[in-house]
Structure 1
Amino acid sequence: MGQQELIQASPSRSFRLRSRSLNSLRLRRIFDMFDKNGDSMITVEEINQALSLLGLEAEFKELESMIKSYIKPGNVGLEYEDFVALHESLGETYFGVPDEKEEETQNEDLWEAFKVFDENGDGYISAKELQVVLGKLGLVEGNMIDNVQKMIVSVDTNHDGRVDFCEFKDMMRTTIVRC
């Protein structure tokens, strides 16, 4: 698929990363999750693997075509700054200038993200579900249920032991980055 075709293609809602509430801390966390070997660089293979583990299938050749122009000469993958540039480009290419439907789009994006964690589809994220997703991503918290339960408690405003969509949305929209 050529660059012109990529620009005209409609991305799946599951692949969207763009949202005004997605700040640099969240983007850095995504980068670190994709960087499986910890070399501060993510390859097309690492991105493809992470997306696949999250159930977001993408054609390898399309990913490679989209990403290769952001990889600096001599590098085997994207450094963080390259990843940010790619993210910004995807936003401009696929989503253009925000309009009055931005709030609705953000809710749809957040709902798609929520569904990744709500594995059984009951409308709640339990500690066990969060632990499973973190484990799929290869994060150490995937083996530490006590830490995962603390994560749930920190977001669980109604104290029912799980995270509903409103709590998830509030958490995603209120994270503030301190530089």
Structure 2
Amino acid sequence: MGQEKIALTTPSASFRLRCRSLNSLRLRRIFDMFDKNGDGTITVSEISQALSLLGLEADVAELESMTQSYIRPGNEGLTYEDFVSLHESLGDTYFGLLENEEEETQEESDLWEAFKVFDEDGDGYISAKELQVVLGKLGLVEGNLIDNVHRMIVSVDTNQDGRVDFYEFKEMMRATIVPSS
């Protein structure tokens, strides 16, 4: 799987959950995952490293430019509150401009890109081993035991073939992204 360049100018429609409490929970997990040294801030280097582990390449100068105005004077990186402000700013900037049809098309495209991160061999399925590898790259303890990974697969494997296809992945992600009323 080759390195892909991420586009910082076109965030995905799934960038922001429509349910505020789920969004906060997800943002906190992402922040903690990026904060490799656990110091309560994430640096451009930590963001770049996390994206690289996912097989996504981001231009460090673009990352610095995007985050600089959110880093408080005296800090070397984004605090969680800074990270939330950056996230909200990007969401407000981009999501007011998208039409519903464009959002759905973009969401499908983004889900496909996310699916490909997990489907390392490109066979159209996420196996337990592939899921374990990605969870490991992200440093998530859930992937330490293959039994845990198998349980994750079973929980979304609607056709019970022991792996996750794109349709199952998409349904799982849509269940996580709660629509607003």
What TM-score, normalized by structure 1, do the two folds share? Answer: 0.82
Please show how residues 1-150 of structure 1 align to structure 2 within 5 Å. Answer: 12=7, 16-19=11-14, 20-21=16-17, 23-94=23-94, 96-100=96-100, 101-150=102-151
In the alignment, structure 1 segments of 5+ residues that lack a partner are 1-10
What count of residue pairs does the alignment treat as equivalent?
167
CA spacing shift, 1:170–1:24, aligned 2, 3 Å: farther
Aligned-residue sequence identity (percent) comes to 75
1: distance between equivalents of 2:12 and 2:36? 19
Query: Could you tell which deviates more after superposition, 124-133 or 71-80?
Result: 71-80
1:3-41 alpha-carbon deviations (Å, 9 max, x no partner): xxxxxxxx628x835425473333322222212122332
1: distance between equivalents of 2:158 and 2:120? 21
2: distance between equivalents of 1:24 and 1:108? 24
The answer on whether the counterparts of 1:117 and 1:130 sit within 8 Å (CA) in structure 2 is yes
- For residue 121 of structure 1, give the secondary structure of its aligned residue in structure 2: coil
1: distance between equivalents of 2:55 and 2:150? 24
Q: CA deviation at 1:152?
A: 1.1
CA spacing shift, 1:50–1:33, aligned 2, 3 Å: same
Question: Once superposed, which parts of structure 1, at least 4 consecutive aligned residues long, lie more than 6 Å away?
Answer: none
Counterpart position of 1:4:
none
CA spacing shift, 1:170–1:99, aligned 2, 3 Å: same
2: distance between equivalents of 1:18 and 1:92? 12
In the alignment, structure 2 segments of 5+ residues that lack a partner are 1-5
Counterpart position of 1:165:
166
1: distance between equivalents of 2:75 and 2:154? 41
CA spacing shift, 1:84–1:17, aligned 2, 3 Å: farther
